[in-house]
Structure 1
């Protein structure tokens, strides 16, 4: 209760519409960020292109001009809440979006992520939302695909974000751990145990970051969910409850290793921004002798979501394919 009151006192709308009403097949992208000015023009461009209707940016106290960059964007609402993100992240994601957005869907996306609609949608998100609505599905799993370049960090740190999006075209599916959606021993079991799934689903963990750094990040979250009565707001960064999970999954292209990521992570460790310890593991690898570059046993070039479907990283269904073909 004290945290809720503290967040209520800390939050303020900096710019944009205070209330946004969405149709049943529209979505609002929710972006929790701090000092993300470098990423945001491309994030907005990409997600507008795939059909996102509105953006709610929860600013955690940026000092790089992010609020000023966004104040003239008509489809962006900025709420600022200067509270410790390690303590308040879940609460911000849980309480703030419903204050602004009525109806529709939420697409959860971090500043370094690009959501990719699944095959069959012609690169648009609304056919997917219409399918889920027709099937009574109220959430969908989205898996993070870590994108990287095999050039040294000394080179990649000088690229603009536009250049990074073009040149960081590699990914690896090595060292992925598949976890059944209803695994009773999984860390999210409490939040998802009562969620029915329209088809068997799974979480992914590890991947390239396990292979290179020895960390075991959770790569899957309930990235899309209905903004409606009965759907429980996020109780965990990666989970929602009281939802029916789709038989379709999708991916984010994740550009965590763009820009001067080594300096960025040193700053996070020094400030104690996160408590999960993953950035400490990465720093230990960066500090080994020689120029650091990401290298994996097998490196694949991104060729679209159809390939990811063939590789088993994401999934669709016959019902979905038939539906979107009729919609085309």
Structure 2
């Protein structure tokens, strides 16, 4: 028998309260003692229309170039990365960029992954917007081909929003994995296919004192990972938050935040999970058990890979992503008329200014 809603809610509050106490008095001081600064500035300047990216990584040399290129092109102010003991060229590639602050720790990812994230937010994201990402994710938003990231953030500020919903869209290339490009940037360019045939959408539940502003925005589950691997992952996150206005991630999940006024437009995390090292990563995740449920999902991925069921991810219903706004047309992303009018007005103003100059 399912527990009553108020019992579940009370349980979440107790768990969150305990996690906050443990982080403040145990985890944060310990992490601070075991963090090594490798490169980049430790004092960052940010305004209300700036976004600072924070992320965790390990052995991610295939993702670093395209991750940095995408987000700097999008307009982020600075990127802070915490390396967790890479043995490939990850550190070398990340430390070469002047707008990247690189830290490193050998502490257990399994035990401290959420505390790591909160530590970086506390240390680097107390003035502007914070964009919390995994190294295989690329953030984007409707209208990004017409307005800049700073204009997008100005819209959020204007309407007093303090967090944004993002849905993961699992991207993949055509063909057998053995034929996929080894170069990470080339792989990202060719991973322009997605499949939402088995996407499930459910009403947005305002957990952890979050207030939604658009009832059309929903939680997403499943997608191509359900089609191919038979798993039902939560595809909805809240990666873009404004910590200075009291918003914080939940300390036992990468999908939720607390105390936020959630924007009326949803955004996307282009998710490049299926790279040439995917099989190797699944083996390592199953061995270490460092993901939810002892890496339950990764066991399913590994079974499908080794049985040959996942040799070609392109199935009936797959589509190529040509522009972000097509995801709005497909109702994968949602926006209001207010937001679209803002985009149109900003684009016209920029066009007029360009003509006059």
TM-score > 0.5 by shorter chain:
yes
Compared with structure 1, are the counterparts of its residues 270 and 232 closer, same or farther at alpha carbon in structure 2 (3 Å cutoff)? closer
Question: Equivalents in 2 of 1:37, 1:123: separation in Å?
Answer: 30
TM-superposition CA deviations, 1:106-152 (whole Å, max 9, x none): 11222112212212652632221110000000000111111112311
Once the two structures are TM-superposed, the CA of residue 281 in structure 1 deviates from its matched residue by 0.2
Compared with structure 1, are the counterparts of its residues 121 and 254 closer, same or farther at alpha carbon in structure 2 (3 Å cutoff)? same
Compared with structure 1, are the counterparts of its residues 301 and 48 closer, same or farther at alpha carbon in structure 2 (3 Å cutoff)? same
TM-superposition CA deviations, 1:283-319 (whole Å, max 9, x none): 1111115882214331111121121101000011111
Q: Are the equivalent residues in 2 in contact too, given 1:57–1:79 (CA < 8 A)?
A: yes
**Farther off after superposition, 102-111 or 132-141:** 102-111
TM-superposition CA deviations, 1:67-119 (whole Å, max 9, x none): 23233322111122222212211111112222123311011222112212212
Equivalent residue number for residue 311 of structure 2: 292
Question: Equivalents in 1 of 2:124, 2:144: separation in Å?
Answer: 31
Q: Are the equivalent residues in 1 in contact too, given 2:229–2:310 (CA < 8 A)?
A: no
Question: Equivalents in 2 of 1:68, 1:159: separation in Å?
Answer: 18
Compared with structure 1, are the counterparts of its residues 291 and 155 closer, same or farther at alpha carbon in structure 2 (3 Å cutoff)? farther
Q: Are the equivalent residues in 2 in contact too, given 1:248–1:320 (CA < 8 A)?
A: yes
2:220 matches 1:207: no
**Farther off after superposition, 274-283 or 287-296:** 287-296
Give the strand-richer structure, 1 or 2: 1
Q: What count of residue pairs does the alignment treat as equivalent?
A: 319
Equivalent residue number for residue 185 of structure 1: none
Equivalent residue number for residue 256 of structure 1: 273
Equivalent residue number for residue 246 of structure 2: 230
Equivalent residue number for residue 197 of structure 2: 174
- In the alignment, structure 2 segments of 5+ residues that lack a partner are 1-21, 348-357
Higher relative contact order (CA 8 A, sep 6+): 1
**Farther off after superposition, 3-12 or 90-99:** 3-12
Q: Of residues 77, 82, 89 in structure 1, which corresponds to 2:106?
A: 82
TM-superposition CA deviations, 1:253-304 (whole Å, max 9, x none): 1111122311232233223332331111011111115882214331111121
2:328 matches 1:306: no
Equivalent residue number for residue 320 of structure 1: 339
Question: Equivalents in 2 of 1:138, 1:121: separation in Å?
Answer: 23
Equivalent residue number for residue 194 of structure 1: 209
Equivalent residue number for residue 96 of structure 1: 120
Name the TM-score, length of structure 1 as normaliser: 0.91
2:259 matches 1:242: yes
Question: Equivalents in 2 of 1:121, 1:243: separation in Å?
Answer: 27
Equivalent residue number for residue 289 of structure 2: 272
- In the alignment, structure 1 segments of 5+ residues that lack a partner are 183-188
Question: Equivalents in 1 of 2:212, 2:145: separation in Å?
Answer: 21
Compared with structure 1, are the counterparts of its residues 297 and 79 closer, same or farther at alpha carbon in structure 2 (3 Å cutoff)? same
**Farther off after superposition, 82-91 or 277-286:** 82-91
Question: Equivalents in 1 of 2:129, 2:239: separation in Å?
Answer: 10
Equivalent residue number for residue 26 of structure 1: 50
**Farther off after superposition, 117-126 or 57-66:** 117-126
* Cα RMSD for the two superposed structures: 1.9
